[in-house]
Structure 1
């Protein structure tokens, strides 16, 4: 098994993701991490984000509008995307019953082994829904 060289830039990218709840794009990560590492390139940010995703340290969140966002929270949870402003918000249920029920229902219709699920909820976020009232 190949060992991976430690990287301060990768640590900064991961720490930035963990500190955020708004699921930034690679460009937003780059804009913020480049303040600490002015010589970092957008390509380096993309490569490190891919590394973090591939190694279970971040989650890639593809969106309907074609953009890709990143999440530092790798625990199973659901996402909501606002159809108005594009915000991505974590939906954390207080227990795992909804996910277990969904996996159970899917398992009844599938002969394989389901190990998890990804669901996206869509609509208007609280901020955008207040604008319409």
Structure 2
């Protein structure tokens, strides 16, 4: 693995904010000041295609990335776009069997709502 890919992976594993490629670039530049944005994009693609990181496409205009490849889901704030982890038991696709005459090969589950920070801005909390 190249040094650039290793640094990108390390930075993604340090943060839990599911950064965009531009945000990953800003994180990585602190350690590799000469790296280009195009190089970060290319390496994010290689790392996600190899399964080393997750590429999140959550209805956002920009993809986000996750260094945690363990089975988990995500929640997105519909107001600010913040993304968080949701740890619920994963759906075990092989246990589903045939579904509506399909051989299911995978799934995506996306939760959405309003984060605590955005809910607080409106003067109400979701849990009150």
Greater fraction of residues in helix: 1
In 2 relative to 1, CA 107–20 (structure 1 residues): closer, same or farther, beyond 3 Å? farther
Residue in 2 aligned with 1:63?
58
Say which is worse superposed, 61-70 or 78-87, in terms of deviation.
61-70
CA RMSD of aligned residues (A): 1.9
Out of 74, 77, 96, the residue aligned to residue 82 of structure 1 is 77
Q: For residues 42-121 of structure 1, what are the structure 2 equivalents within 5 Å?
A: 42-93=37-88, 95-96=89-90, 99-100=91-92, 104=96, 107-112=98-103, 114-121=104-111
**Residue 9 of structure 1: how far off its partner (Å):** 1.2
- Please list every run of at least 4 consecutive aligned residues from structure 1 whose deviation after the TM superposition is greater than 3 angstroms: none
Taking structure 1 as the reference length, the TM-score comes to 0.83
Instruction: Structure 2: state its 5+ residue gaps.
Output: none
Asked if structure 1 preserves the Cα contact closer than 8 Å seen for 2:13 and 2:68, the reply is yes
C-alpha separation in 1, matches of 2:52 and 2:69: 6
Taking structure 2 as the reference length, the TM-score comes to 0.86
Count how many residue pairs are aligned between Structure 1 and Structure 2: 122
Residue in 2 aligned with 1:23?
18
**Residue 129 of structure 1: how far off its partner (Å):** 1.8
Residue in 2 aligned with 1:3?
none
SS at match of 2:30: helix
Instruction: Structure 1: state its 5+ residue gaps.
Output: 1-5
